[in-house]
Amino acid sequence: MRPPILRRLFRRVAAAAVCAVLPLLTTQAVPASAAAPAPAAAGLQQVTGFGSNPGNLQMFAYTPDSVSAGAPLVVALHGCTQSANAYYTNSGWPKYADLWGFDVVFPQTTSANNALSCFGWFDQAESTRGRGEAASIVQMVEYAKQTYGSDGRRVYVTGLSAGGGMTADLLAAYPDVFAGGSVASGLPAQCATSQAAASGCQTGPQKLSPAQWGDKVRGSHPGWNGPWPRVAIWQGTSDYTVYPANATALRDQWTDVWGIGQTPARTESLPGGTTRSVYEDASGQPAVETFSVSGMGHGLPVSPGSGADSCGSTAAYFLNTICSAYHTGVFWGLDTGTPGGGDGLPAPAGLKVTGVTGSTASLTWNAVGGAASYAVFRNGAKVATTASTSFTDTGLTAGTAYRYTVAATDSSGAAGAASPAVTATTSGGTAPAKCFTATNYAHVTAGRAHTSGGHARANGSEQDMGLYNVFVTHTLRESPAGYFVIADSGCQAGSS
């Protein structure tokens, strides 16, 4: 718990907030009153003296009294002409701060920095390591670590529009500070390095390769070799302020940084016409996720209501589709009930497939000290809880590949880190094999393989194909669909 003096400090109540207006991304001539900072509302309190503040920002914080030291920290960045209070009121993050136990810092910029109170995502004097607004935000993180006892290993940043662009810049410049990020209707890191180039990024970023986008991240903190932040990307398909091409560029940028391909391990349908695509790291954990919201314009997805996955309130550019705060928090592990969430039990080692039939797959793994049970996940969805270190999944489809992970669960029911994934392919099925002979680069580009640690690996079998380049050639055999094995010694006819 916080010392009483800090609880008193953060219980100061300020006046009501002004409404947010259109979060444009670049400066325009507007009356000064349109960008005036909003006072804090009850529950959101201003913090002063958090550092030298080279970016001339204001710090606001929501710090539930029930949150103890050692909790995660979320930094939430508003859009242009918005305020910290608008984001606090409408985004949904306070709900999960209360429910899951973490603090939230809401930085605020003003018209003194930009006529429309935009964070300077397009200005290298503001968006790069050790400079301007980016440095001020990191000072807020340090203040939270020292004052609230926030866990420096679990600091996350999220933002809308210009705040999303600054989020990407922060993740690139400070991968040693932020464990994860979420960019909503935002821009790739260092897409623009001047205000003149900003509008071009909004309507269509440069047509760069994933490696070129990734180089913008790597160049933001030279010499950093990881770990890299885990990144969620939210985008409406009908956004004509920040075009959907930016979400594609963001995906290319961060999958390249992680050394993984641009073909998702799986896609899923979520409420609000949302499609989630998951890009996994070498251990089978989600490293990058994209959330494409069909028909949504420019704004942050929210979903008012009382359900566990409902949050926020609708307002200008807070759009009633799906609760992005909930799904982002789960992706980061803030709910501590998902694999990799929190600082729980270690991942079970030795997960392997011990047998398959046309409708079953059997697994075993090594025991984890302190585990009360184990959660078994098939294709990312929990399918069983067992006290044993073995499990047989039933009711499967013949000739189909399934990916499994296992997480140890403690006596409170909290799941620890997930094991590396294994693939089990049920027997049977009648689909003919298909064969493809190409370079490793071409296999990855075509979605038959992915990259890991500079090597290409066959999708499904995870066989190491050697260096990811245009000089190494392999024949891959596909059977069943989506499952590839190396077949250099020969592949049956009936193939492509």
pLDDT 10s digits, 92-114 = 999 999 999 999 999 999 899 99
Supply the DSSP string of 1-41, one letter for each residue. ---HHHHHHTT----PPPPP----SS-----GGGGPPPPPP
Beta-ladder partners of 423: 403
Distance CA 490, CA 496 (A): 13
Rg (CA), the chain: 23
pLDDT band at 303 (very low <50, low <70, confident <90, very high): very high
Angstrom distance (rounded) from CA 77 to CA 111: 15
Please give the single-letter amino acid code of residue 401: A
pLDDT over 80 (residue 415)? no
The answer to which of 22-26, 271-275, 377-381, 426-430 has the lowest mean pLDDT is: 22-26
Strand partners, 155: 73
pLDDT of residue 74: 98
Please, which residues bridge with residue 452 across strands?
455
DSSP 248-260: HHHHHHHHHHHT-
Mean pLDDT within 169-178:
97
- What is the pLDDT confidence band of residue 69, given thresholds at 50, 70 and 90? confident
- Is the predicted pLDDT of residue 162 greater than 50, yes or no? yes
Specify the 3-state DSSP secondary structure of 167: helix
* pLDDT at residue 22 greater than cutoff 70: no
**Residue (of 279, 141, 299, 109) closest to 210 by Cα position:** 279
Please give the positions annotated as active site. 161
Do 173 and 228 meet the contact criterion of CB atoms below 8 Å apart?
no
pLDDT greater than 70 at residue 26: no
Question: How far is Cα 138 from Cα 174, in angstroms, rounded to an integer?
Answer: 8
Average pLDDT across the chain, whole number: 85
| Whether residue 344 has pLDDT greater than 70 | no
Window from 17-21, 292-296, 298-302, 466-470 with minimum mean pLDDT: 17-21
CA distances 445 to 16, 197, 262, 454, 470, Å, are: 52, 30, 8, 14, 11
For the cut 90, the answer to whether the pLDDT of residue 478 exceeds it is no
Q: How far apart are CA 219 and CA 202, in angstroms?
A: 22
Q: For residue 171, what is the enclosing H or E element?
A: helix 162-173
Count other C-beta atoms under 10 Å from residue 75's C-beta.
26
Distance CA 34, CA 346 (A): 50
pLDDT digits (tens, 9 = 90+) for 49-58: 999 999 999 9
Torsion of CA 82, 84, 87, 88, to 10 degrees: -150
Which of 30-39, 129-138, 401-410, 473-482 has the highest average model confidence (pLDDT)?
129-138
Q: Report whether pLDDT(462) > 60.
A: yes
The per-residue pLDDT for 89 is 96
φ, ψ dihedrals at 218, nearest 5°: -60, -35
Neighbours of 225 (CB within 10 A): 7
pLDDT at 275: 96
Q: How many whole angstroms separate alpha carbon 92 and alpha carbon 291? A: 17
Tokens standing for 280? 């996994």
User: Binning pLDDT at 50, 70 and 90, where does residue 86 land?
Assistant: very high
Identity at 304, one-letter amino acid code:
P
More confident residue, 42 or 169: 169
pLDDT at 15 (0 to 100): 25
Strand order of the β-sheet with 103-108 is 45-47, 58-62, 103-108, 73-77, 155-160, 180-184, 230-236, 286-293, 274-280, 266-270
Would you state the structure tokens that stand for residue 66, as one six-digit string? 């029930």
- The single-letter DSSP state of residue 311 is B
Average pLDDT over residues 124-140: 97
- The per-residue pLDDT for 335 is 82
Helices 132-147, 162-173: inter-axial angle, 10-degree rounding: 70
Residues 384, 365: contact at Cβ < 8 Å?
A: no
Q: Please state, for a pLDDT cut of 90, what percent of the chain lies above it.
A: 57
**Cα–Cα distance, 46 to 13 (Å, whole number):** 10
- pLDDT for 453 beyond 50: yes
Strand pairing class (73-77; 103-108)? parallel
DSSP H helices, 229-302, are 245-258
pLDDT band at 380 (very low <50, low <70, confident <90, very high): low
Which of 444, 377, 385 minimizes the C-alpha distance to 409? 385
Confidence of residue 429 (pLDDT cuts 50, 70, 90): low
pTM over 0.95: no
pLDDT surpasses 60 at 84: yes
Residue 240, pLDDT > 90, answer yes
Rounded to the nearest 5°, which phi and psi values hold at 270?
-120, 170
Residue 487 has φ and ψ, to the nearest 5°, of -135, 50
Mean of the pLDDT values across residues 269-298?
A: 93
- What is the phi/psi pair of residue 186, to 5°? -120, -165
Task: Say whether pLDDT at 417 is over 80.
Answer: no
Counting residues of the chain whose pLDDT is more than 70, the rounded percentage is 86
Identify the pLDDT of residue 19: 27
pLDDT tier, 469 (very low <50, low <70, confident <90, very high otherwise): confident
Distance CA 26, CA 7 (A): 38
